Amino acid sequence: MPHIKIDGHLIETSPGKTIIQAAYDSGMQIPHFCWHPELTVAGNCRMCLVEVGMPKRNQQGEIEKDESGNDVISFFPKLQVACATPISEGMVVRALSEKAVEAQEAVMEFLLINHPLDCPICDEAGECKLQEYAFKHSKGESRFDEQKNHAKKRQVWGPNVMFDGERCISCSRCIRFTKEMEQFWIIHIL
């Protein structure tokens, strides 16, 4: 079974898992919007950006060690999305590093650029992950001083669905849910 380290915690996981799945199975949370354990991966919200590194190998293919005998870790220059990055033995993940947290805060700032921020009258009535993340994973300020883009509101898409274009962050979870649940029902129930 592969072993990976997430923010200093050693985790034994199973082959084929992604970083976010391995973290989730071990009771750790990496911030995310578009990922759901029961749905396919879209990787489009970018909220789960983390630093990822692998043990450095010498020309003989052996893992290099530092003076204390620990593996030397070589981190990818760019952050990776935890929901679409498969784990491999010896991987080291930093979800709480300064670089990762800064990226998560930048994503929140971006997602809220056109958001109406009318929380007191929103239908979600405080049950809102975006609001929760705005407290936990954002600087609480925006550098955007242009006019907000106004999208269509209250579009009735069916007996149980009302779409609000200003509140949608285009994570595609609702689309994948309806598509994939429909397929599941056709294959397994009908």
Positions that interact with ligand FES (CB under 6 A):
32-35, 43-48, 81, 83
CA distance 81 to 53: 13
Q: Is 95 exposed, middle or buried (0-12, 13-18, 19+ CB in 10 A)?
A: buried
Calculate the CA dihedral of residues 25, 130, 85, 176 and round it to 10 degrees. Answer: 90
| Residue 72 C-beta: closest distance to ligand FES, Å | 28
CA distance 81 to 103: 11
Closest approach, Cβ 170 to ligand FES, in A, equals: 11
> CA 186 → CA 139, 173, 179, 180, distances in Å?
45, 20, 11, 10
CB of 168 to ligand FES, least distance (A): 14
With respect to ligand FES, which residue has the nearer C-beta, 85 or 114? Answer: 85
Name which of 33 and 133 has its Cβ closer to ligand FES: 33
CB of 120 to ligand FES, least distance (A): 27
- Name the residue nearer to ligand FES (CB basis): 42 or 92: 42
Decide: helix, strand or coil at residue 74.
strand
